[in-house]
Structure 1
């Protein structure tokens, strides 16, 4: 039972990390686009509706 719980925890952590990495990658892309455009990052964040 404990092993299953540990497995589940590792699985959810992996998922969280994956989502975090993807979101960070998206954020970096947004920042790059942002610099090219010369607008503030907050505006883009608001427009995209970051959660």
Structure 2
């Protein structure tokens, strides 16, 4: 995260390994149009229902 960030990429993984690279990528998506603000604001929460 950095100040005035207007996009964020979410990398979705499947697995329980401690290292992300040891888990399986099941998707990636970008959130765009985030209003510029200080790092940590706004906060983004992602949930999945399967």
Give yes or no for TM over 0.5.
no
- Name which structure has the greater RCO, CA cutoff 8 Å, separation 6+: 2
Smaller-chain TM-score bracket: under 0.3
Greater fraction helix: 1
- Structure with bigger strand share is 2
Q: What TM-score, normalized by structure 2, do the two folds share?
A: 0.25
Structure with higher Rg: it is: 1
